[in-house]
């Protein structure tokens, strides 16, 4: 067999081999390199679209720069190249408008000289915007939403993050001022507790004279006096489902009165010291009490058994509130803390330590999932169920003994010196300040307010005071927003970054 040789001819697109008689082998290395390079370029162009080169630039250098830029752009923008079809359809119109503006700007800047690198970046941006995925860009989305964007044709960059707007302070709702309606005398000691009948027909008061008195709410006349405690009566509660009245006092006794017979039918024994507060659960037959032994106790009102002993406070429990939703029990103590309790487990879920002095009063908002706590330093508002802080209500510079909130978001706070503050609960605006005058025959120092409660309608406020009287307040029906305008000047606090 005669020796044969293969002559390789490399063209621009194809490579063919011709077999013939013995001839010398011709292998062109530069042709093979050119063929490999063109194949790579064709594949690159198919994947990332054709990119124009500056003819004035060296071919190898241009190729390297183009590959580097393409890889950089692909790395930074590949996660937003494709969007869901619904979003792409919505931003299609915005992308067309942006493309038209870009072409107009390009024609305006056509005479301006550009560097080879700048031209290459523009060509890559144009190639990507002209591809099928151009309508799916993040720039088009931000343009559609009216957000600041990056425009490569204008060679300028604006912020991609929206500037944080200043906090808007809501305007307080107008409330009519409150005025004294009736003064009821009858107790021989400081009035320390008030409870209103669920039917809104009568209310009960307990005082330092160890007597519980029941008054007609409409006329203020005395209907009944209940005796049995041997020390000051500090807490009262009326059951909405049973004809029962519960009372507690500094004699360590808790009594359940049957109002059909006006007799004591149950006693609850367990506290080691005076009992200062009590609250009935709104939907369960459960009674919660707290006192000087720094322990809150949960009682079954039917069996008289103690269900839980809520321990954890290190000072006197001055007030306790219950509600249907968690936290079902809230306690305030002279150790300057407020505790939220899990009734099912009998354990504390949260301890609020924001107050700096003794917390003597609590109030639950009937309209919102919030509550307020009062101390000498401030009145603070909290959000349930985790006790998130809302705002401070500053200005009542006194020992605040009592809080009450009605359905119109009016919060009342009463002080040890007879000071009365009325607040708009949502904004913390103090729309009225008053002072209870001591009654004739009592000392000027005995005008302190120890307890308060709105009636079931929220139109009457009942206060128990140190001058041994019970006062009933109502809104001034002659007041208008013109005669008593809202003068709200909030303290704007700059945000801390």
Residue 219, domain member (yes or no): yes
Kindly give the residue spans of alpha helices, DSSP state H, lying in 131-215.
138-144
Q: Which helix (H) or strand (E) is 18 found in, with range?
A: strand 15-20
DSSP state at residue 136 = G
Instruction: Judge if 431 and 468 occupy the same domain.
Output: yes
Instruction: Judge if 294 and 359 occupy the same domain.
Output: yes
Instruction: Judge if 219 and 147 occupy the same domain.
Output: no
Confidence of residue 116 (pLDDT cuts 50, 70, 90): low
Parallel/antiparallel/unpaired status of strands 347-352 and 359-364: unpaired
- Looking at residue 438, what is its pLDDT? 83
Return the structure tokens found at 467: 């001058």
Residue 162, domain member (yes or no): no
Q: What are the start-end ranges of the E strands in 343-428?
A: 347-352, 359-364, 370-375, 379-383, 388-393, 400-405, 410-415, 419-424
Return the structure tokens found at 461: 């406020």
Cα(49)–Cα(169) distance, integer angstroms: 54
For the sheet containing 419-424, what is the strand order?
400-405, 410-415, 419-424, 429-435
Return the structure tokens found at 329: 């029990």
Cα(432)–Cα(335) distance, integer angstroms: 30
Total number of residues shown for the chain? 497
Instruction: Judge if 284 and 327 occupy the same domain.
Output: yes
Residue 18, domain member (yes or no): no
CB 270 within 8 A of CB 307: no
Instruction: Judge if 112 and 144 occupy the same domain.
Output: yes
The residues, ordered by sequence, that sit 6+ positions from 3 with a Cβ below 8 Å of its Cβ are 22
Residue 431, domain member (yes or no): yes
Cα(175)–Cα(408) distance, integer angstroms: 9
Return the structure tokens found at 325: 């939703």
For 214-232, give one letter per residue: b (16+ CB within 10 A) or e: bbebeebeeeeebebbeeb
Identify the domain containing residue 144 by its residue range: 49-157
Instruction: Judge if 147 and 245 occupy the same domain.
Output: no
287-306 pLDDT tens trace: 999 999 999 999 999 999 99
The CATH number covering residue 311 comes to 2.130.10.10
Sign of CA pseudo-dihedral 419, 422, 426, 427: negative
Residue 495, domain member (yes or no): no
Instruction: Judge if 143 and 182 occupy the same domain.
Output: no
The residues, ordered by sequence, that sit 6+ positions from 483 with a Cβ below 8 Å of its Cβ are none
Within the chain, how many helices (H) and strands (E) appear?
5, 32
- Looking at residue 495, what is its pLDDT? 46
Instruction: Judge if 214 and 96 occupy the same domain.
Output: no
Return the structure tokens found at 35: 């063929």
CB 358 within 8 A of CB 315: yes
459-476 pLDDT tens trace: 999 999 999 999 999 999
Cα(5)–Cα(474) distance, integer angstroms: 118
- Looking at residue 328, what is its pLDDT? 96
Cα(340)–Cα(351) distance, integer angstroms: 6
Count up the domains in the chain and report the number: 2
Residue 4 has pLDDT above 80, yes or no: no
DSSP state at residue 284 = S
Across-strand partners of 404?
412
Query: Cα 157 from chain centroid?
Result: 35
Parallel/antiparallel/unpaired status of strands 410-415 and 5-10: unpaired
Confidence of residue 346 (pLDDT cuts 50, 70, 90): very high
Instruction: Judge if 133 and 193 occupy the same domain.
Output: no
Put simply, whether the predicted model's pTM sits higher than 0.85 gets the answer no
CB 256 within 8 A of CB 265: yes
Residue 210, domain member (yes or no): yes
Q: What percent of the chain has pLDDT over 90?
A: 61
Residue 454, domain member (yes or no): yes
Provide φ and ψ at 168, rounded to 5°: -95, 125
397-420 pLDDT tens trace: 999 999 999 999 999 999 999 999
| Interior angle at CA 392, CA 390 and CA 393, nearest 5 | 130
Give the mean model confidence (pLDDT) for residues 166-192: 90
Q: How far apart, in Å, do the first and last CA atoms of the chain sit?
A: 90
- How many other β-carbons are positioned within 10 Å of the β-carbon of residue 485? 10
Share the mean pLDDT of the chain: 82
Across-strand partners of 452?
463
Instruction: Judge if 145 and 186 occupy the same domain.
Output: no
Instruction: Judge if 79 and 221 occupy the same domain.
Output: no
Give the mean model confidence (pLDDT) for residues 244-257: 97
Least confident span in 43-47, 56-60, 277-281, 489-493: 43-47
Residue 289, domain member (yes or no): yes
Instruction: Judge if 100 and 243 occupy the same domain.
Output: no
Give the mean model confidence (pLDDT) for residues 127-151: 53
Nearest to 123 by CA among 55, 212, 76: 55
């Amino acid at each position: 067999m005669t020796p044969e040789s293969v002559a390789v001819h490399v063209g621009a697109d194809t490579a063919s081999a011709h077999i013939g008689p013995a001839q010398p082998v011709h292998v062109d290395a530069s042709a093979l390199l050119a063929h490999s390079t063109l194949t790579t370029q064709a594949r690159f162009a198919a994947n990332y679209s054709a990119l124009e080169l500056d003819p004035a630039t060296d071919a190898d250098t241009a190729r390297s720069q183009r590959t580097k830029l393409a890889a950089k752009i692909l790395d930074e923008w590949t996660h937003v190249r494709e969007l869901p079809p619904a979003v792409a359809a919505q931003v299609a119109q915005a992308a067309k408008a942006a493309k038209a503006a870009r072409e107009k700007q390009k024609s305006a800047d056509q005479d301006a000289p550009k560097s080879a690198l700048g031209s290459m970046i523009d060509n890559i941006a144009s190639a990507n915007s002209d591809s099928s995925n151009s309508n799916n860009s993040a720039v088009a989305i931000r343009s559609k939403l009216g957000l600041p964007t990056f425009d490569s044709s204008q060679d300028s960059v604006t912020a991609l993050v929206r500037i944080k707007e200043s906090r808007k302070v809501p305007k307080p709702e107008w409330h009519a001022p409150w005025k004294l309606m009736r003064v009821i005398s009858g107790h021989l000691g400081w009035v320390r507790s008030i409870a209103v009948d669920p039917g809104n027909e009568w209310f009960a008061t307990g005082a330092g004279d160890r007597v519980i008195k029941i008054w007609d709410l409409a006329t203020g006349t005395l209907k009944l006096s209940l005796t049995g405690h041997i020390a000051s009566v500090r807490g009262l509660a009326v059951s909405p489902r049973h004809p029962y009245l519960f009372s507690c006092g500094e004699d360590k006794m808790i009594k359940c009165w049957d109002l059909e017979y006006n007799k004591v039918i149950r006693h609850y024994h367990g506290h080691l010291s005076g009992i200062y507060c009590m609250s009935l659960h709104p939907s369960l037959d459960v009674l919660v009490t707290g006192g000087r032994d720094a322990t809150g106790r949960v009682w079954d009102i039917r069996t008289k058994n103690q269900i839980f002993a809520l321990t954890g406070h290190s000072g006197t429990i001055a007030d306790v509130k219950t509600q249907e939703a968690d936290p079902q029990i809230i306690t305030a103590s002279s150790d300057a803390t407020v505790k939220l309790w899990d009734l099912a487990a009998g354990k504390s879920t949260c301890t609020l330590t924001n107050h700096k002095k003794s917390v003597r009063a609590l109030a639950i908002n009937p309209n919102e999932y919030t509550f307020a706590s009062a101390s000498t330093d401030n009145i603070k508002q909290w959000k349930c169920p985790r006790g998130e802080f809302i705002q401070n209500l500053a200005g009542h510079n006194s020992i605040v003994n009592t809080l009450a909130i009605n359905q119109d978001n009016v919060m009342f706070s009463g002080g040890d010196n007879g000071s009365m503050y009325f607040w708009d609960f949502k904004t913390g605006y103090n729309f009225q300040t008053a002072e209870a005058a001591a009654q004739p025959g009592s000392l000027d120092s005995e005008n302190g307010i120890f307890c308060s409660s709105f009636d079931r309608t929220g139109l009457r406020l009942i206060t128990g005071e140190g001058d041994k009287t019970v006062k009933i307040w109502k809104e001034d029906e002659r007041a208008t927003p013109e005669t008593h305008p809202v003068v709200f000047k909030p303290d704007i606090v700059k945000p801390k970054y």
